[in-house]
Chains A and B, each alone.
Chain A
Amino acid sequence: MTQVTMTVNGKAASGDVEGRTLLAQFLREDQGLTGTHIGCDTSQCGACVVHVNGEAVKACTMFAVEANGATVETIEGQANADGSLNVIQQAFQDHHGLQCGFCTPGMVMSAAALLKENPKPSEAEVRHYLDGNICRCTGYHNIVKAIMAASGQDVSAIAAE
């Protein structure tokens, strides 16, 4: 077992892990941050996307020991300081960008990373960026719409409701 220490959502987090313990497992099992979801075992679905040192990372592709000393952000740390939904989260609710909610944490974390590097993405850019995030419920329509709305673009012309 190896001791790891990292900053998770602004707080110090440490624990003893095996070499094979994935960052996703460490967050879920050791830290109780169960908002990071595991939807596959081939790093395809993106339900486990978190930010490590500001970069979007699939937490199932990284060992916990690799994140030693890193700054990690998860879905639990995304709301505004007063607890209200942040702009992206609010856009997902406003535009019905989620149904079962299982892929949602990864979608929100990917969307945040996208908007950081591309503040006004086109529809095609959003769809391309979401290539590593699978949703089975929404057909993506309202996810794409929500992300474009969160970027401040007018989405009223996109087919309704």
Chain B
Amino acid sequence: MPKDGGIGASSKRREDVRFLTGNGNYTDDINMRGQAYVHFLRSDIAHGTLTSVDTSAAAAMPGVIQIFTGDDFAEIGGMPCGWQVTDKHGEAMQEPKHPVLAHGKVRHVGEPIAAVVADTLEQARDAAEAIEVEIAELPAVVNMKDAVKDGAPKVHDDLTSNLCYDWGFVEENKAAVDGAFEKAAHVTTLELVNNRLVANPMEPRVAIGDYNRSDGEHTLYTTSQNPHVIRLLMGAFVLGIPEHKLRVVSPDVGGGFGTKIFHYQEEAFCTFAAKAINRPVKWTSTRSEAFMSDAHGRDHVTKIQMALDADNNFTALRTDTYANMGAYLSTFAPSVPTWLHGTLMAGNYKTPLIYVNVKAVFTNTVPVDAYRGAGRPEATFQLERLVDKCAHELGVDPIALRRQNFITEFPYATPVAVEYDTGDYVATMDKLEEMSDIAGFEARRKESEAKGKLRGFGVNCYIEACGIAPSNLVGQLGARAGLYESATVRVNATGGLVVMTGSHSHGQGHETSFAQVVAEMIGIDENMIEIVHGDTSKVPMGMGTYGSRSIAVGGSAMVRATEKIIAKAKKIASHLLEASEGDIELKDGAFSVAGTDKSVAWGDVTLAAYVPHNYPLDDIEPGLEETAFYDPSNFTYPSGAYACEVELDPETGVVTIERFSAADDFGNIINPMIVTGQVHGGLAQGIGQALLENCAYDEDGQLLSASYMDYAMPRASDLPFYDVDHSCQTPCTHNPLGVKGCGEAGAIGSPPAVVNAVLDAMRSGGSKVEHIDMPVTPSRVWAAMNG
């Protein structure tokens, strides 16, 4: 029987009611009295010297309050990078300055040059058209391999080259890995591109700065996944505002997918300008601006090789990747192709020797940073495409080859520095084979062929590292922040309680699932629990939501704080019941004395805490409020196996997804309905990457895909109903809930299955093509089959 509340129940989401009735409170829904509007004039040139920005005519336009340029920020700190990678020679990465408004040069299309603040948005836009900008255009570098050639134009003149870092992992293993390749019975090599994507949360970014002259406090309302991170970065490194004078609020946020983690110039600008003009300043991104100012994702070019022995055991893996950083280092950009990618290269396999090289490259493009999965989809795609290619070269079944090389004993220390605590890759593959009805595939293929279509079946496994992250570990790896999480549980006198969590919900449903956990622990109704997030003035310093970390890290902090509450409440109950504290049991919202019928209700204990007429004041303080900070001891390792079945029209190259099956192991699950929804969304983004989406630049650095007219977002008719299962559960061993996280799995696990299926279909039509790059568009498929 499904539960009707608490952990494991598919509780309906409480947040839905406000969203379904138009009562959500997104940042753009906020309007401050007397607010002014800013419009950013952005570069339409990818690379050039700013010779003149003449604002005199614009400044005289109606409604214009002030126009800001790079000179106004010359003495102010630039945008900080939150992660420093050390290269294979032990040197720190090259880290360029990143101004709030372009200064001296423009380095990508979309870089803000001037900011016009006016009474209305229309006036600001009109005035921006009157600004005269002169840019001496310079040759742009777009292609990463060209960018690192001798003599290539430099994106940053004060750096030695366009190479941010050349990272080797694990460098000491390189010789052993190369030696294993020399002894290999078979080597499979694959070169591929992991296409550049734009995250595209449906809510564009918004920032509103406000300054209170009476107390000197700044407030920033912003569309962020992590308001405390913004407060820390912007306050300490950009504007020099102490944290007690800076409040950051992220109310309802309409999707994030990584790109709303980062601190952006527009946030710093609005905060700065609100004080400068003594009025609130609001910026709402258009979608066109979003395409050229939100950090992009992926964009790797990789060569990967697998060495196998004569029995088809994987003996060594090596991979060389060029990773695009764009023109500047976005907040966590350096970590994505390194620590979120290299550490995942073992995948689900017991390959004993692995070497990963990553060259991070500056180009005249929008900065690239984490997008749903962040490094892990790139690792999974190359590995799972490679394993499929191995199988075809060797003439063995792709699933059998995977099974043969699966890690089967846990904990398992990989050769790439992480230790998987639990998993059962055989179980998820067994489940997948059952779900995807492999036995019926040949019959389905014949049906397709009878219609003149080709049909293909593709499979892949994945492993991800979630629950980011042990602070001591990431500190050694270059993180400039801790990655713990926090929670305060405040119990009210009449028994209801508020959880203030450092996690942030922007679609994940924390207000529902977090309440389920606390309800289960105390035995009270979920509706007695309120979840508060997204306001630095309300919640303790927390690191926010990304990397599938909320329930694993934020949930664990909440559990620890609730445990403290329960411990204190038991003390109060023992006093009220005149019994030994050790004999007090909490069940279904009542404290009882073991072995007796004496009990006191939850609400009586909470009332006693705040109305301490009969209270052990000598032993404990009144009140019932506790805070906990939780720092995980390891990552969590969700895993799974995915299968995709496609139909391909050889006449047109059109590929349709006919079936998609996903067998995931997320450990324990709080709300199955929400978990399934998270997988659905991830699958759509992964299938979107595989079949549709591509962020394209021309050779001059012009962004060709800058609207929904050109960037192919997946639509309802592009996607199937998905078959999702998470009954295989190996609980995480090191967090109190045994949870692993589910937010990114679908996006990580699905692209290789799609491409493997397309290639299987093409082969069934006689094609000899060994690889096709994403997005697998009809024109690419048709050209590959007829080329």
Known: A100-B201, A100-B506. A131 touches B681 (CB 8 A): no
Across the interface, do B21 and A101 meet the contact criterion of CB distance under 8 Å? no
A75 and B283 CA atoms in complex are apart in Å by: 25
- Is A71 at the interface (CB under 8 A from chain B)? no
- Is A116 at the interface (CB under 8 A from chain B)? no
Contacts of A159 in B (CB 8 A): 721-724
Across the interface, do A40 and B707 meet the contact criterion of CB distance under 8 Å? yes
Across the interface, do B10 and A161 meet the contact criterion of CB distance under 8 Å? yes
A25 and B254 CA atoms in complex are apart in Å by: 19
| CB nearest to B724 among chain A residues | A159
Across the interface, do A101 and B254 meet the contact criterion of CB distance under 8 Å? yes
Q: How far is the CB of A140 from chain B (nearest CB, A)?
A: 4
- Is A122 at the interface (CB under 8 A from chain B)? no
Contacts of A160 in B (CB 8 A): 676, 724
- Is A104 at the interface (CB under 8 A from chain B)? yes
Known: A135-B202, A161-B10. A101 touches B721 (CB 8 A): no
Across the interface, do B21 and A89 meet the contact criterion of CB distance under 8 Å? yes
Contact of B673 among A37, A137, A144, A161 (CB under 8 A): A161
- Is B90 at the interface (CB under 8 A from chain A)? no
Contact with A along B702-714 (1 / 0, CB 8 A): 0000011100011
Across the interface, do B723 and A42 meet the contact criterion of CB distance under 8 Å? no
Across the interface, do B680 and A41 meet the contact criterion of CB distance under 8 Å? no
> What size tier do the contact residues of chain B reach?
35 or more
- Is B63 at the interface (CB under 8 A from chain A)? no
Contact with B along A142-160 (1 / 0, CB 8 A): 1111000000000000111
Within 8 A of B (CB), among A100-153: 100-105, 108, 123-124, 126-128, 130-131, 133-145
Contacts of B717 in A (CB 8 A): 124, 127-128, 130-131
Across the interface, do A99 and B508 meet the contact criterion of CB distance under 8 Å? yes
Contacts of B16 in A (CB 8 A): 92-93, 98, 101
Contact of A134 among B29, B202, B204, B677 (CB under 8 A): B202
Contact of A44 among B255, B257, B509, B709 (CB under 8 A): B709
- Is A64 at the interface (CB under 8 A from chain B)? no
Across the interface, do B20 and A102 meet the contact criterion of CB distance under 8 Å? no
Q: How far is the CB of B585 from chain A (nearest CB, A)?
A: 34
- Is A34 at the interface (CB under 8 A from chain B)? yes
Known: A18-B122, A40-B287, A138-B677. A126 touches B716 (CB 8 A): yes
Known: A40-B287, A93-B12. A101 touches B680 (CB 8 A): no
A78 and B26 CA atoms in complex are apart in Å by: 20
A144 and B683 CA atoms in complex are apart in Å by: 16
A44 and B507 CA atoms in complex are apart in Å by: 21
Contact with A along B684-697 (1 / 0, CB 8 A): 11000000000000
Across the interface, do A139 and B20 meet the contact criterion of CB distance under 8 Å? no
- Is A16 at the interface (CB under 8 A from chain B)? no
Contact with B along A60-72 (1 / 0, CB 8 A): 0000000000000
Across the interface, do B22 and A141 meet the contact criterion of CB distance under 8 Å? no
A interface residues, tally (CB under 8 Å):
61
- Is B441 at the interface (CB under 8 A from chain A)? no
Q: How far is the CB of B197 from chain A (nearest CB, A)?
A: 12
Contact with B along A84-98 (1 / 0, CB 8 A): 010001001110101
Contacts of B19 in A (CB 8 A): 98, 100-101, 104
- Is B24 at the interface (CB under 8 A from chain A)? yes
Indicate the member of B677, B682, B707, B723 with the most A CB atoms within 10 Å: B677
- Is A45 at the interface (CB under 8 A from chain B)? yes
Known: A101-B15, A101-B507. A136 touches B20 (CB 8 A): no
Contacts of B20 in A (CB 8 A): 75, 85, 89, 92-93, 98, 101, 104, 108
Across the interface, do A40 and B21 meet the contact criterion of CB distance under 8 Å? no
- Is B760 at the interface (CB under 8 A from chain A)? no
A41 and B122 CA atoms in complex are apart in Å by: 15
- Is B770 at the interface (CB under 8 A from chain A)? no
A44 and B22 CA atoms in complex are apart in Å by: 20
Across the interface, do A139 and B684 meet the contact criterion of CB distance under 8 Å? yes
Known: A18-B122, A35-B22, A100-B253. A141 touches B708 (CB 8 A): no
- Is A33 at the interface (CB under 8 A from chain B)? yes
- Is B192 at the interface (CB under 8 A from chain A)? no
Indicate the member of B15, B16, B252, B287 with the most A CB atoms within 10 Å: B16
A79 and B506 CA atoms in complex are apart in Å by: 24
Contacts of A137 in B (CB 8 A): 202, 255, 507, 677, 681
Q: How far is the CB of B726 from chain A (nearest CB, A)?
A: 9
Across the interface, do B22 and A33 meet the contact criterion of CB distance under 8 Å? yes
| CB nearest to A21 among chain B residues | B122
Contacts of B674 in A (CB 8 A): 96
A32 and B122 CA atoms in complex are apart in Å by: 19
Indicate the member of B13, B22, B24, B286 with the most A CB atoms within 10 Å: B22
Contacts of A136 in B (CB 8 A): 200-202, 255, 257, 681, 684-685, 713
Across the interface, do B286 and A41 meet the contact criterion of CB distance under 8 Å? yes
Within 8 A of A (CB), among B23-75: 23-24, 26, 28-29, 31
Across the interface, do B707 and A36 meet the contact criterion of CB distance under 8 Å? no
- Is B175 at the interface (CB under 8 A from chain A)? no
Q: How far is the CB of B668 from chain A (nearest CB, A)?
A: 16
- Is B604 at the interface (CB under 8 A from chain A)? no
Known: A20-B122, A41-B288. A133 touches B716 (CB 8 A): yes
Q: How far is the CB of A78 from chain B (nearest CB, A)?
A: 7
A145 and B682 CA atoms in complex are apart in Å by: 18
Contacts of A92 in B (CB 8 A): 16, 20
A39 and B284 CA atoms in complex are apart in Å by: 11
Across the interface, do A134 and B203 meet the contact criterion of CB distance under 8 Å? no
Known: A93-B16, A100-B253. A130 touches B507 (CB 8 A): no
Please, could you name 7 A-B residue pairs with CB atoms under 8 Å apart, sorted by A? Answer: A29-B31, A35-B24, A45-B708, A93-B17, A96-B676, A128-B717, A137-B255
Excluding A76-B22, A98-B20, 19 further A-B contacts by CB distance (< 8 Å) are A34-B28, A42-B707, A45-B202, A47-B202, A74-B22, A93-B12, A96-B12, A101-B16, A102-B202, A124-B717, A127-B717, A130-B716, A134-B202, A136-B202, A136-B255, A136-B257, A137-B202, A141-B721, A161-B676
Interface residues of B (CB under 8 A from A): 10, 12-13, 15-24, 26, 28-29, 31, 122, 200-204, 252-255, 257, 286-288, 506-509, 672-674, 676-677, 680-685, 707-709, 713-717, 719, 721-724, 746
